[in-house]
Structure formats: C-alpha cells, structure tokens
C-alpha cells in the first residue's frame, strides 16, 4: 500500500511539474546563461518573425563596438534622414540631431527605438545595409542557423526570420559577455533630452518579476507578441524566449512560467577539488613535476534534488613524459550524486614542460656526480 501511495505521489509531482512548464506560445525556449544548457524547449527551431527582439543583435554589436574601442558611451551619433524615417517605436529623432551612444542605447533597450537602432548601426558600419551584413555574419558565428536578418530593427520585411533557439543564443552572448548592458535593460522609467522625453520600459517584467534583468520585447501584426526575458536569482541567470504569443500579457505570463520553473528546479554549483592537487612527476622534463589545474566545466548546472550531497573522486596520472603542453589532460575530477555521475571535469597541465636536451641532461648528470662527491 505504501508503495502504491508513493508511486501515486511521484506521478502527481511529475504531472504538476509538467503542467507548470506548459506555455501558450507556439514556440519557446528556456536557457541557463553560464552553461548554455536548454532547460525547456517547444518547437524552438520554428522560423518566425521576431519583431523588435531583433534588436538584441543590434545591441550586441553595439556593445562589442564599445568593448573594441570603436565606440565609447559618450561618442556623439548624428541622426541621418534614413534613421529618422523609421516607423514603429521611436523617440522621434530629427535629422542631424546628435545624441550619445549611451542615450541611444537607453532608448533602444527601454522603448525599442527604431530610429536609434538604425542610427547606431550606421555609426558602426556606415549604413544600415552594411550593418545588417555584420548582423548576419555574427549570427553565423554564434550558430544561429535559423536566422536571416533584413534590417536592424525587426520592422516587417520579407525573409526576416529567426527562432526561439537563436534568440536565446544571441541573448546569452549579450548578457554573458556584456553584463554592463544591465544599466539600460533594468531601467523601468527614465528620460532623455534633459527630461523632455519620457521613457517607460516595454518589458513589464522589469517592474513585476523578482530578479528581472532584461531583455527585449517585440510585436507586429504578423510576429504577434515576442519576448526575450532574462532574470537572475541566487547567482543563476536564465533566458526565456517566447515567440508568437496571442497577447502582450500572455507573453509575460509565459516568460514568468518558464523562469519560475527554472529557478525552482535548478541551481548552479561551483566545483573545486576538496584537497590541493599533487604535482605529477615528469620524466625527461626540464622540471621535475607539472602542476595539474581544474579545466573548464567547474560550474555545474544541477537539478536541486541532486545538488546537496555531491561526492568527488580525483584520478591523476602517476607520471607523464615530457614534452608536456599546457592544457594536456592529466586526470579527471568525477562528481557524483548518489550512484549517478553528474560531471567529469578534466584536470589539465597548468604549464608547459619542455623535454630535456642531451646537453642539459649531461649537465644535470655532472651536477649530480659533483654533489655526490
């Protein structure tokens, strides 16, 4: 009887869990930032119009231009006639009006300003067309194989498509590599032009969802309501992408459902060896030992139920023959939860050890003989 009750309880938990991550949107995805692990997916490769969620790539390229020194936050950008001709969401730039990169980024992130998005693209690449080429090239580099950009804004254009999967990839790249973007994406209300222009964030989660950090809304008649939403709790940041929802309110509810599921079910653990790793003897090397270090993979994304009682086992080579290149695998740190292996993290040579030459070997033998005398 107890077994039957336990089984029914397990089924109930699974049913409730499955129901908890159901979303109305026809296409959606939930991704963890640090590892890039997909936690939920629903028709995530469907090629759909992203509307202004397109601007995640525009923002990413702008932040990369700032990091490379091509732009600075205080660089003045002059609005062209083309930039000022954009429809849809905008701050009504006038031709030849000047505004800093910082203020234009704010306008793009907070109110999805199409005119500022194009002005930034022109500043970076010389024209919107050239900027779109860079957008598509960057998309290829990120593995966004479902994506073709036709403009910098997401305004309707034939063939301008992406997917929930690809939006998650570029959103992750933005928040992982450029955390400073939060100074704009977390703004709820602000102003431009010395207080003359008011801004209210189109992303309602910024005000109404605990831990929200961004990122970008989008909507057109064909795209319907789209969203890339990011939030962080307890050191873990998630990206929830919603595509083609029926209403604006529903996209926010769907995003909250995915984010809350991720925070309830998963956690990040940083794993380090419990005891110092012993140096490994090197045969025929210019030095006697090489120091192993932890390779990539020390940050683990785990189900919370498996994260509390973790055990470690370290396996290292008894010795290694020179030459030893930095990064050569010398062993493995195995992490288990109960009987399950949850991670195998490589232990690598932290330095290069060259092979000893004949002359060096002779000199070493002579020193050894001299000391023996």
pLDDT of residue 20: 59
Q: Which of 81-85, 281-285, 356-360 has the lowest mean pLDDT?
A: 356-360
For 257-280, what is each residue's pLDDT tens digit? Answer: 999 999 999 999 999 998 999 999
Among the listed residues 290, 299, 248, 252, the one whose alpha carbon sits nearest the alpha carbon of residue 271: 299
Q: Report whether 191 contacts 200 (CB < 8 A).
A: no
Identify the pLDDT of residue 167.
98
Model pLDDT, residue 362 = 73
Q: Is the pLDDT of residue 91 over 90?
A: yes
- The yes-or-no answer on residue 112 being catalytic is yes
pTM for the whole structure: 0.87
- DSSP string across 185-228: HT-SEEEETTTTEEEE-S-THHHHSTTEEEEEEEEETTTEEEEE
d(CA 368, CA 70): 58
pLDDT in the model for residue 373:
54
229, β-bridge pairs = 215, 240
What would the pLDDT profile of 22-35 be if each residue is shown by its tens digit? Answer: 999 999 999 999 99
Q: In this predicted structure, what is the pLDDT of residue 364?
A: 67
Give percent of the chain with pLDDT exceeding 90. Answer: 85
Comparing 309 with 53, which gets the higher pLDDT? 53
**Spatial contact of 249 and 208, defined as CB atoms under 8 Å apart:** no
Report the pLDDT value the prediction gives residue 10, as an integer from 0 to 100. 36
Q: What is the pLDDT of residue 363?
A: 74
Q: What does the pLDDT average to over 60-67?
A: 98
pLDDT at residue 17 above 50? Answer: no
The answer to whether 262 and 32 have CB atoms below 8 angstroms apart is yes
Catalytic pick among 52, 80, 219, 260: 52
The overall average pLDDT reported for the chain is 92
What's the topology of domain 280-359? Answer: Peptidoglycan synthesis regulatory factor (PBP3), Domain 2 (2.60.410)
85 is catalytic: no
Asked if residue 7 has pLDDT above 60, the reply is no
* Percentage of the chain modeled with pLDDT above 70: 92
Quick check: 214 and 170 in contact, CB under 8 A?
A: no
| Active-site residue, selected from the candidate residues 27, 33, 42, 55 | 55
Beta carbons of 191 and 211 less than 8 angstroms apart: no
Q: Where are the beta strands (DSSP E) in the chain?
A: 27-32, 38-42, 76-78, 98-100, 189-192, 197-200, 212-220, 224-233, 236-245, 266-270, 280-283, 289-290, 292-294, 299-303, 310-316, 320-321, 329-337, 340-349
The answer to whether the beta carbons of residues 214 and 185 sit under 8 Å apart is yes
From the candidates 27, 80, 112, 219, give the one annotated as an active-site residue. Answer: 112
State the average pLDDT over residues 38-58: 98
Residues contacting residue 253 through CB under 8 Å, at least 6 positions apart? 24
Res 14: pLDDT: 36
CATH of 23-266 given 3.40.710.10, 3.40.630.10, 1.10.1270.20, 1.10.10.10: 3.40.710.10
Mean pLDDT of 216-225: 98
Please indicate whether residue 52 is annotated as part of the active site.
yes
250-261: average pLDDT: 98
What's residue 298's pLDDT? 85
Question: Residue 215: what are its φ and ψ, rounded to 5°?
Answer: -145, -55
Tokens in use for 341?
A: 């292996």
**Domain parsing of the chain, residue ranges:** 23-266, 280-359
């Amino acid at each position: 009887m107890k077994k039957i009750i336990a089984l029914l309880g397990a089924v109930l938990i699974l049913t409730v869990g499955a129901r908890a991550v159901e979303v109305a949107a026809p296409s959606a995805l939930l991704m963890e930032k640090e590892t890039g692990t997909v936690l939920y997916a629903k028709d995530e490769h469907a090629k759909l119009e992203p509307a202004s969620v397109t601007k995640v790539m525009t923002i990413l390229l702008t932040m990369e231009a700032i990091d490379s020194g091509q732009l600075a936050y205080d660089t003045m950008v002059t609005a062209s006639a083309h930039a000022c001709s954009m429809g849809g969401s905008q701050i009504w730039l006038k031709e030849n009006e000047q505004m800093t990169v910082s203020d234009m980024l704010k306008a793009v992130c907070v109110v999805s300003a199409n005119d500022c998005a194009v002005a930034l693209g022109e500043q970076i690449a010389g024209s919107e067309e050239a900027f779109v080429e860079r957008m598509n090239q960057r998309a290829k580099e990120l593995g966004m194989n479902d994506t073709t950009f036709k403009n910098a804004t997401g305004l309707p254009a034939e063939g301008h498509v992406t997917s929930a999967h690809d939006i998650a990839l570029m959103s992750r790249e933005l928040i992982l590599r450029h955390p400073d973007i939060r100074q704009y994406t977390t703004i709820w209300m602000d102003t431009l032009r010395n207080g003359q222009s008011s801004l209210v964030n189109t992303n309602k989660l910024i005000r109404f969802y605990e831990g929200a950090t961004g990122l970008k809304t989008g909507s057109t008649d064909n795209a319907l309501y789209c969203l890339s939403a990011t939030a962080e709790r307890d050191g873990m940041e998630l990206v929830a992408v919603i595509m083609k929802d029926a209403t604006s309110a529903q996209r926010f509810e769907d995003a909250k459902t995915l984010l809350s599921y991720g925070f309830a079910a998963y956690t990040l653990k940083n794993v380090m060896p419990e005891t110092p790793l012993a140096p490994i003897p090197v045969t025929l090397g210019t030095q006697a030992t090489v120091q192993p270090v932890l390779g990539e993979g020390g940050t683990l994304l785990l189900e919370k139920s498996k994260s509390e009682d973790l055990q470690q086992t370290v396996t290292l080579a008894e010795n290694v023959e020179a030459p030893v290149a930095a990064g050569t695998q010398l062993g493995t740190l195995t992490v288990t939860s109960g009987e399950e292996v949850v991670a195998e993290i490589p232990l690598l040579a932290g330095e290069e050890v060259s092979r000893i030459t004949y002359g060096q070997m002779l000199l070493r033998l002579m020193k050894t003989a001299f000391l023996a005398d």
